[in-house]
A and B are shown apart, each in its own frame.
Chain A
Amino acid sequence: MTKVLIAVALGVLVGHFNIMSVNPKKISKLTSLCLFIMLLAMGAQLGANDKLLGDLGRLGWQALVLAFASIVGSVLLVRLAENHISKQLEQSKQKAKRAIGH
């Protein structure tokens, strides 16, 4: 957990202050390459595990329940605050307009 956060935080620092002036395209290529290695590896571990492969059906419906519940939870909370958020943003917008006007 700590190692994961340190790796991300180091990256953020390097990116924000442009410490190693590397080509962003090269970074995104490297990131994609690592991602594909990990996706292949995750697939390979799944494929080598017969018990898990037999369980893919169960994983599928569990995934649907989890995904649907996450969506419902997030929509519900935002719906409760919808009017408030919209009012707040309208005020910010008008403030910004007035500031430009002056």
Chain B
Amino acid sequence: MTWIILGSVGIGLALGHWLLPEQIVQYLDTVTTTALYLMLFGIGIDLGRQKEVWVRLWNMGWKVLWLPILIATGSLAGAAVAGLLIGLPFNESTAIGAGFGWYSLSGVLIAEIYNVETGALAFITNVARELLTFLLVPLVARYIGRFSAVAPGGATAMDTTLPVITKATGSDMAVIAFISGSVLTTLVPILVPFFIQLK
């Protein structure tokens, strides 16, 4: 999946650079707007069908929600501070941070409703977050804490980075990481458009 996603962007890049004249790029707008809303609708259906998370959340107790809330707040604050350092406006840095590692959605969402440059930055940032997660989770688990090791993965803690987290922290953290990742995944299509429209 990762390679298909990166490959699609790469093919698009090559097409835009060497083949497509600018008029066609402009026509693309109707197609991508339609694709955006269909995709969001589909993501919504996926989220709505996931009843397993709610059952697990119920069994664990609602206090486990503190974990994704802290991860979300920390990610947004970190991104905002980084934005100040590299000279990005608050709405852009926080919207990029609100991708929580879900690079495909945060990238195309921002590219479509804001601008391509920020969308590309969101895409690369959240790819980097996933890659850094693979490197950092074992270190965080050993030197900082087991719950802290769920944080780097953000939304990806429910799928792509779940195996690394479980391996580094123990199998009893799998359910907690899955719940945290699912909650953050649900927040991405809500928080990214919210922060990007802040002035």
Contact = CB atoms under 8 A, between A and B. Distances in A.
B182 interface: no
Contact of B116 (A52, A75, A88): A52
A96 B189 contact: no
Interface string B5-28: 100111111111110101001001
**How many interface residues does chain A have, given as a range?**
35 or more
B111 interface: yes
A44 B35 contact: no
Contact of B96 (A13, A66, A76): A66
B63 A64 contact: no
A11 B41 contact: yes
Contact of A73 (B25, B78, B121, B140): B78
Given A45-B25, A65-B85, A53 B46 contact: no
Contact of B121 (A1, A15, A59): A59
Interface in A3-50: 3-5, 7-18, 24, 27-28, 30-31, 34-49
B76 interface: yes
Interface of A: 1, 3-5, 7-18, 24, 27-28, 30-31, 34-49, 52-53, 55, 59-60, 62-79, 81-82, 85-86, 88-89, 92, 95-96
